[in-house]
Amino acid sequence: MKHVAIGQSGGPTAVINATLAGFVRELYKDHAITFVVNGYEGLANQLFLEADDALISNVMESKKVPGAFLGAGRYEFDEEKIKESVQNLRRQKINTLVFIGGNGTMEALKRIEEEAKQQNYTLQVIGLPKTVDNDLAKTDHAPGFGSAAKYAALAARDMSRDLQAMSNFEQVRILETMGRNAGWLTAAAGFLNDYKQDGPHVISLPEDPLSPDVIMKKTTHALEEHGTALIIVSEGASWEKGQQVERDRVQGRSVLGGVSKEIENLIKQNMDVMVRSELLGMNQRSFSAAVSSTDFNEAVITGETGASWVREKKTGVMVSLQRADTALYHIDYVPVALHEVAASGERILPPSFIQNQKAYNEWLRPLVGSDVSSYPPPLKRRNLHVIEQNKSK
Amino acid sequence: MKHVAIGQSGGPTAVINATLAGFVRELYKDHAITFVVNGYEGLANQLFLEADDALISNVMESKKVPGAFLGAGRYEFDEEKIKESVQNLRRQKINTLVFIGGNGTMEALKRIEEEAKQQNYTLQVIGLPKTVDNDLAKTDHAPGFGSAAKYAALAARDMSRDLQAMSNFEQVRILETMGRNAGWLTAAAGFLNDYKQDGPHVISLPEDPLSPDVIMKKTTHALEEHGTALIIVSEGASWEKGQQVERDRVQGRSVLGGVSKEIENLIKQNMDVMVRSELLGMNQRSFSAAVSSTDFNEAVITGETGASWVREKKTGVMVSLQRADTALYHIDYVPVALHEVAASGERILPPSFIQNQKAYNEWLRPLVGSDVSSYPPPLKRRNLHVIEQNKSK
């Protein structure tokens, strides 16, 4: 009987536990399963939990719970720790290792696979993708992104209506999204841009340098046309000749955040308007009421596919989601080599989408699920005084 | 035929347009309706729009749209402007004035009613309640609060699971809620506290002074017990001997915000942990995917009730929501005098709820709607190393 270890790693998503539950449900009846707690830290330090009925039930019941049930997080995974990890797996007689994660996770899995070969230990290795940034290569997208995109799209559209209602008090709002070095999530905040009045009137991606002139020009134009301006900026955007804005640095890792505040200050210095910047924050990856049905379903199937590949003895691969070139949206779950994923690095938003929000929206539409609908138009807010002057003649 | 003017005022909510739609649907067929744009600013400056079929349709279709369709916002409404407003109403032959708003709105309506009497102008005046802060008196609660409470409850619970998953990188998270001087919304963030591990481990209300000692003690305890700590603080909370923290001051009005950052700094100075503070932000009052079904329905009925009172010639009253003392949740819509609402001022969270979260949760349960369910327990995160050491013997 195979002895399978499964862990979660990196930042959580709203559907990473759906992948875990899908995987476990397919295997637990005829496999020994060990849960690795706290990602690669657990692998290096043997934070192992053997699956029993209670734990299996808890995992299955948690499929709609955000976070990462087993613990994920960050860990500096050096050569020495990778060696120890393989020794730990050998000691526990674990011959299949499956991890749910993003770029860093796939890179680490590849190195574990190589180290196992060095140690002449036969280890099956499978990666299951997750990301809210959508910066994982060799896959159309990965579970977690659709829900984060839905959250960002709804938040931007809903807050724009809120802002318009407050236009006699507050005129400019800046929302900062996650996404690190890739603009996928930031651009998703423009998905529901059905009306020019709603905006977003500026979208600043990490792929393009931030220009004070462009921001001021577009903001001024929006204020003149509509009375309010909505600006979306990625946490990973940086000024021309500048660097990304860090809110913190932990364990040598940069925690991005704060560029929206810098834009707020820029506008305050140059215009007599009330401006407010806000981070969309951790809700982007955790808010359960904004989970995309497509994203949830794909997360489950990703786990189930990984389980079937355990049986089929596939190894050294990640489950990728390949979009069929058909009129109706369809995803095939296809193996890609871990070394190819790792070699590709972070996948940024391509120019074809940066230059064409409509093309991006078409690509994004199925991922946010079917329960997102358009709003009727907002009340036009410019020239109301003129209407009144006509009326009161 | 009556000529009815309706406006919206103050901060928007996710369901204020449901009240507007409910009101208009009941009256538009046999009443002339004028929409007042941008709240009391529109009344003073005659920002009036006569309802035509297109506008009525737009209002009806916007019933599930957040923000305030007509524009709301802030306005300094002095004696002179109130006089002008009544003159404007007389000029337009408007004999019924209905406004949807909170404390400030009801106070203003009362003054308009008094001014109309002064001017010997017969004016029917009705107030329809809305608030996310729930600080409106003489009503059990008001439309807008249930959805904001649901958002805060879900965000706190979901982000706690996210935090726990990141515990090897990030240990303390502080969420700042709206609420101004009343703790209703802040306490709602503790509604889904099914497990001690999830927290919130500290809830700081505006009704009680912030104590550095208490915060540090409770945070330390949570970290020792669970490895993470979730802190909820109201934007209106202030330090012992301190003042509320302002993020901005606009038109002489304080915009609260930033106390969570001060708590972040306090913890950083005293503990070696990664701590992150976040504002729940404008999403609390605008996020469409977290609207409470109860709240939406009550918002519609509030509007419909106001419409029926227009026909019944009630005046000088606000629609209040009175909870029946029955086993099953039931609301009666009862008139209360505007001058009583105005005289009562801001309603803060009573001590019986501050001292007893369970009692508060019972009160709150019907308001957040029926689609909020409990999570299964999280994985216990303390003593994992001990479990492992036992295993690896």
Residue among A69, A290, A378 minimizing CB distance to B289: A290
Q: Do residue B392 and residue A91 have CB atoms under 8 angstroms apart?
A: yes
Tell me which chain A residue has its CA closest to the CA of residue B251: A169
User: A41: which chain B residues are within 8 Å (Cβ-Cβ)?
Assistant: 168
Given pLDDT bands bounded at 50, 70 and 90, which one contains residue B384? low
CA distances from A268 to A163, A183, A351, B95, B179 (A): 17, 26, 31, 43, 26
Per-residue pLDDT, B383: 58
Q: Measured between alpha carbons, how far is B312 from A383 in angstroms, rounded to an integer?
A: 36
Domains and CATH numbers, chain B: 3-144+290-345 (3.40.50.450), 154-288+352-368 (3.40.50.460)
**Test mutation, B69, B178, B288, B368, chain A, max A CBs within 10 A:** B288
Residue among B68, B166, B276 minimizing CB distance to A72: B166
Residue among B11, B162, B168 minimizing CB distance to A66: B162
What string of pLDDT tens digits covers the 393 residues of chain A?
689 999 999 999 999 999 999 999 999 999 999 999 999 999 999 999 999 999 999 999 999 999 999 999 889 899 999 999 999 999 999 999 999 999 999 999 999 999 999 999 999 999 999 999 999 999 999 999 999 999 999 999 999 999 999 999 999 999 999 999 999 999 999 999 999 999 999 999 999 999 999 999 999 999 999 999 999 999 999 998 889 999 988 888 889 999 999 999 999 999 999 999 999 999 999 999 999 999 999 999 999 999 999 999 999 999 999 999 999 999 999 999 999 999 999 999 999 999 999 999 999 999 999 899 999 999 987 655 444 444 443
Q: Which residues pair with A262 in a beta bridge?
A: none
Q: Measured between alpha carbons, how far is A176 from A169 in angstroms, rounded to an integer?
A: 21
Q: Measured between alpha carbons, how far is A109 from A93 in angstroms, rounded to an integer?
A: 18
Q: How far is A275 from chain B (nearest CA, A)?
A: 9
Three-class SS state of A280? coil
Q: Do residue B65 and residue A161 have CB atoms under 8 angstroms apart?
A: yes
**Test mutation, A6, A38, A251, chain B, max B CBs within 10 A:** A38
Q: Measured between alpha carbons, how far is A36 from B355 in angstroms, rounded to an integer?
A: 40
Given pLDDT bands bounded at 50, 70 and 90, which one contains residue B392? very low
Find all residues with CB under 8 Å of A140, minimum gap 6, and list them: A320, A321, A322, A323, A331
**Test mutation, B49, B50, B162, chain A, max A CBs within 10 A:** B162
Tell me which chain A residue has its CA closest to the CA of residue B55: A379
Tell me which chain B residue has its CA closest to the CA of residue A168: B73
Phi, psi values for residue A270, rounded to 5°: -110, -15
User: B250: which chain A residues are within 8 Å (Cβ-Cβ)?
Assistant: 169-170, 274
The pair of structure tokens assigned to B372 is 């909020």
Per-residue pLDDT, A387: 43
User: B163: which chain A residues are within 8 Å (Cβ-Cβ)?
Assistant: 67, 282
Place of tokens 């000691």: A91
Please give the sequence-ordered ranges of beta strands (E in DSSP) within chain B, or none if there are none: 3-8, 32-36, 48-50, 96-101, 124-129, 172-177, 202-204, 229-234, 246-250, 253-256, 275-279, 317-323, 331-337
Q: Do residue B162 and residue A61 have CB atoms under 8 angstroms apart?
A: no
The pair of structure tokens assigned to B31 is 């009443």
Catalytic residue flag (residue A213): no
ipTM of this complex prediction, to 2 decimal places? 0.96
Three-class SS state of B324? coil
User: A289: which chain B residues are within 8 Å (Cβ-Cβ)?
Assistant: 150, 154, 287, 289-290
Q: How far is B273 from chain A (nearest CA, A)?
A: 9
Concatenating the DSSP letter of every residue in A330-365 gives -EEEEEEEHHHHHHH---PPPHHHHS-HHHHHHHHG
Per-residue pLDDT, A381: 77
Residue among A48, A161, A388 minimizing CB distance to B48: A388
Q: Do residue B164 and residue A250 have CB atoms under 8 angstroms apart?
A: no
Q: Measured between alpha carbons, how far is A139 from A304 in angstroms, rounded to an integer?
A: 17
Of B133, B135, B198, B295, the active-site residue reads B133
Q: Measured between alpha carbons, how far is B295 from A284 in angstroms, rounded to an integer?
A: 24
Helices (H) and strands (E) in chain B, counts: 15, 13
Given pLDDT bands bounded at 50, 70 and 90, which one contains residue B122? very high
The three state secondary structure string of B40-101 is: HHHHHCCCEEECCHHHHHHHHHCCCCCECCCCCECCCCCHHHHHHHHHHHHHCCCCEEEEEE
Given pLDDT bands bounded at 50, 70 and 90, which one contains residue B39? very high
CA angle B98, B101, B107 (to 5 degrees): 85
CB of B226 closer than 8 Å to CB of B171:
no
Residue among A72, A163, A279 minimizing CB distance to B165: A72
| B290: DSSP letter | G
State percent of chain B over pLDDT 70: 97
